[in-house]
Structure 1
Amino acid sequence: MQTPIDRTRLESLAHQETERFISANPTSRQLAQAARPHLLSGVPMHWMTDWGTPFPLFVDHARGVHFTDVDGHRYLDFCLGDTGAMFGHSPGPVAALVRELAERGYTTMLPTGNAARVGALLAERFGLPVWQFTTTATDANRSVLRWARALSGRSRILVFDGCYHGTVDDTFVRLTDREARHRPGLVGQVHDLTLHTRVVPFNDLSAVEAALADRTVACVITEPALTNIGMVLPDPGFIEGVRALTRETETYLVLDETHTISAGYHGWSGALGVVPDFLTLGKPVAGGLPAAVYGMSREVAKAAEAYLATKETGHSGMGTTLSANMFTVAAIRANLEQVMTRDAYWHMTATAAYLAERLEALFARLALPWCVTQIGARCEFQYCPVRPRTGVEAEAAMDDTLEGALHLYLLNRGILITPFHNMTLCCPETTHAHVDTLVDTLAEALEGLIA
């Protein structure tokens, strides 16, 4: 839907904010130029240039809800590493542990005493009894797809249009004119992913039923709510319906809680009471350090151990040398015990609810036909009057030019929100005053754009 924004004013604002950014960040500009000859696109990860700035902003340090760039500007952070720092930058218990363990070793390829405790904590928190460790959520998702295929004897998987499961090749499939196609922008893909991946619209139980009917699908992998194409909430009963259909067709259900862990202490699935066969979780689980985990039911674990007994040692395609290293397993324990607490979630969720209320009031005052969606500590506004129910609807509501200008306006005034769409996160140190700063600054930008 076309937003009631004056496009001429928008173009002028984008130009002004670009010039302001260039003028205010000379050290970042120098570092970008110095990095260009030796880093692809001048950054350690090429997508770090996707913020819409004329050159990357280089960070000096971060703590709690703030970070400071190399030019000395301090920012209020509502991005929080796109969930990686969802509980704040350098959370105290994890930082203390890092200092304590700095001289006690990092990688041995052997378990430590912390491993058993972390397994028990994860089982208690998420309701699945058996766990494994990886380095990223992508690794965790790739591992569970392997397990699902190996244990079921089936080759296909089912995903939802607009899903996000890291960089797992199998999930980079979209629906275009009702046909499965490779996701635009997928680099270097050779094999036809659609031979083994089926894709259906989110919130369409009939489509799920049809896709599973021939019993050739090993697993359905999904986020409980779509979060990376704009937030799309499940209809009441949808996830429960998917769970029922997977049981009926003897298909595994994988819930990727890497983003929806913002929903609450037990994740979305725990709050809903849906128990999957596999659950994956990355990003925030070690307080911002690279680590991820995946859990499985007792039945799946029994089948997996029987499978392992029949194969040669190693060479499973799951895990890396650095997975479950001493450092990150200890960090996961500290994070679960002392950071990802019920009190932290209560504060984060209440603060995000206040943000949602303030955004809704702002859009009503300005007569902007936009909606607001909240998932616990996570909140997003979209340029459509009704919350989207599918990835297609969420994508249709996007306005890249408007989004880029608003993000840059906020950044130039010391506020960062998640790139790619208008998503925010509230950490345990985010206050109502911080929310007021964000919404009041956004209001200033919008008031100058409405015709």
Structure 2
Amino acid sequence: MDKTVAGIAAASIEAMLAREKARFIAGNPISQRLGDEAKHHFPDGVPLHWMTDWGTPFPLFVREAQGASLTDADGHRYRDFCLGDTGAMFGHSPGPILTVLAEQGGHGLTYMLPTEDAPAVGRLLAERFGLPFWQVAATATDANRFALRWARAITGRPKILVFNGCYHGTVDETFVRLRDGEPIHRPGLLGQFADLTQGASVVEFNDLPALEAALAARDVACVITEPALTNIGMVLPDPGFIEGVQAACRATGTLLLIDETHTISTGPGGWTRAHGLSPDFFVVGKAIAGGVPCAVWGFTAAIEAAMKAARARTGPGHSGMGTTLSANALALRALRANLEQVMTPAAYDHMLAMSGRLAAGIRRVIAERGLPWHVSAVGARAEFVCGPVPPRNGTEAAAAMHGDLEAAIHLFLMNRGVLIAPFHNMTLTCPATTTEDVDHLVACVAAACDALIAGA
């Protein structure tokens, strides 16, 4: 009997991969030439190795992007549902951000001193997200790292706790996974010189008893989590789970950090505000300044007071936190413009409507073809998964990933002018996304499914 993968014949997947790779090579000679030239100085022809993760025979080089579309070096236009893997979640080059770039460019970009935008930005962040105190970093990785360092300093506890399958940038302690119930280093980790499992506990998402047991020893300084896992596929919380995490933290004196770098797709205040959560720390990166590198992390008044006490105990010296370009003048002004003029309720209303249309369309495609797949969504973020039921934890999510099948679909879509996230079947809609964009994506997914089912 022929082998099948998620309801599709393996031979059909292999044939589509070969066919679509050949089509990509034939259609992108300029990208291929640029990649060959770049290999003289950049490994694999790219300045960041993640840029090779798209599954293409060679990197796709971009000429320009605007709104919800992107044009490559060969002149092909794409309807962009990846949006820089969330970095351009509010579209490429929003008008207010273009104004900031033009105006601030003539007044200096970085001073290592605050600007007149600082009081306004602090007020806007507090009003939007509900936490009174804030700091600005260059990336969400930095924001998470700094907050976790503060959590250890405040509590005097050595450990953090993460959920299996989590992703919080390149924070060292979060690179742990579960294997047969035991913590291990995340596979593929390079150059690791310390045993991360000594400083981090890891349990499955949606397993509240396991979390409570891990916190019982009261040696965990902080639980860091997304409200829904989004980087191992999408794993939604069971009803009441995140609230249970918050309660368990309160009961054991453990601090709670909610990282909304991806789940800011939920609404103007993220999942946290939409669901009435009250974390000790709160992080948003990537899209918060409209594509200008920037991240923010907020905290409660109690944490701010505890920070001062910890600083007094420690004495003067380098805190181990901060980078020279953090909160630079350009980033702060872009952050202000994005909060005031781009991340508006009206923008979210449109994004959510477009993502809802997208999710409904792909669900219809799946149902009409009897495929054992499903669709999950968090606000403007939606994902179709080649598995029959939504996963409840990282282990189940990893098992629902089928590399060759997903790669074949991605290449099929790319060759027909559609980009989705390269790491799994994730889509994002932005304020510039149109119904025509969504309907074209749905039609292309339907055509890909039909080709896979037919084996042609």
**TM-score scaled by length of structure 2:** 0.98
**Alpha-carbon deviation of 1:310?**
4.2
> How far does the alpha carbon of each residue in 1:129-159 deviate from its partner, in whole angstroms, 9 at most, with x for none?
0000100000000001100000000010000
Residue in structure 1 matched with residue 416 of structure 2 by the alignment: 413
In structure 1, stretches of 5+ residues that fail to align are none
Residue in structure 1 matched with residue 48 of structure 2 by the alignment: 45
> How far does the alpha carbon of each residue in 1:204-253 deviate from its partner, in whole angstroms, 9 at most, with x for none?
00000000001000000000000000000000000000000000000000
> Aligned equivalents of 2:7 and 2:49: distance in 1?
34
> How far does the alpha carbon of each residue in 1:44-88 deviate from its partner, in whole angstroms, 9 at most, with x for none?
111110100000000011110001111111110000011100000
> Aligned equivalents of 1:149 and 1:407: distance in 2?
42
> How far does the alpha carbon of each residue in 1:167-192 deviate from its partner, in whole angstroms, 9 at most, with x for none?
00100000000000000011111100
**Alpha-carbon deviation of 1:386?**
1.2
Residue in structure 2 matched with residue 343 of structure 1 by the alignment: 346
Match of 2:29 among 23, 26, 32: 26
Q: In 1, are the aligned partners of 2:220 and 2:254 still within 8 Å (CA)? A: yes
**Alpha-carbon deviation of 1:312?**
4.5
Q: CA RMSD in A?
A: 1.0
> Aligned equivalents of 2:439 and 2:125: distance in 1?
35
Residue in structure 2 matched with residue 403 of structure 1 by the alignment: 406
CA distance 1:220–1:109, shift in 2 (3 Å): same
Match of 1:273 among 257, 271, 276: 276
After the TM superposition, which residues 239-250 of structure 1 pair with which residues of structure 2 at under 5 Å, given as runs?
239-250=242-253
Residue in structure 2 matched with residue 205 of structure 1 by the alignment: 208
**Letter in structure 1 aligned against 2:320:** G
Tell me the secondary structure at the aligned position of residue 448 of structure 1: helix
**Letter in structure 2 aligned against 1:210:** A
**Alpha-carbon deviation of 1:371?**
0.8
Residue in structure 1 matched with residue 187 of structure 2 by the alignment: 184
Residue in structure 1 matched with residue 359 of structure 2 by the alignment: 356
> How far does the alpha carbon of each residue in 1:280-330 deviate from its partner, in whole angstroms, 9 at most, with x for none?
110000101110010000000111123234444451111100000000000
Identity fraction in percent: 60
> Aligned equivalents of 1:133 and 1:168: distance in 2?
17
Match of 2:127 among 124, 128, 150: 124
After the TM superposition, which residues 292-307 of structure 1 pair with which residues of structure 2 at under 5 Å, given as runs?
292-307=295-310
In structure 2, stretches of 5+ residues that fail to align are none
Please identify, of 3-12 and 13-22, the stretch whose mean Cα deviation from structure 2 is larger. 3-12
Tell me the secondary structure at the aligned position of residue 190 of structure 2: coil
**Alpha-carbon deviation of 1:42?**
1.4
> Aligned equivalents of 2:444 and 2:131: distance in 1?
43
Tell me the secondary structure at the aligned position of residue 199 of structure 1: strand
**TM-score scaled by length of structure 1:** 0.99
After the TM superposition, which residues 1-400 of structure 1 pair with which residues of structure 2 at under 5 Å, given as runs?
2-400=5-403
> Aligned equivalents of 1:341 and 1:368: distance in 2?
37
> Aligned equivalents of 2:312 and 2:339: distance in 1?
32
Q: In 1, are the aligned partners of 2:122 and 2:134 still within 8 Å (CA)? A: yes
**Alpha-carbon deviation of 1:6?**
2.1
Tell me the secondary structure at the aligned position of residue 170 of structure 1: helix
Tell me the secondary structure at the aligned position of residue 158 of structure 1: strand
Number of aligned residue pairs: 451
> Aligned equivalents of 1:312 and 1:205: distance in 2?
38
Tell me the secondary structure at the aligned position of residue 202 of structure 1: coil
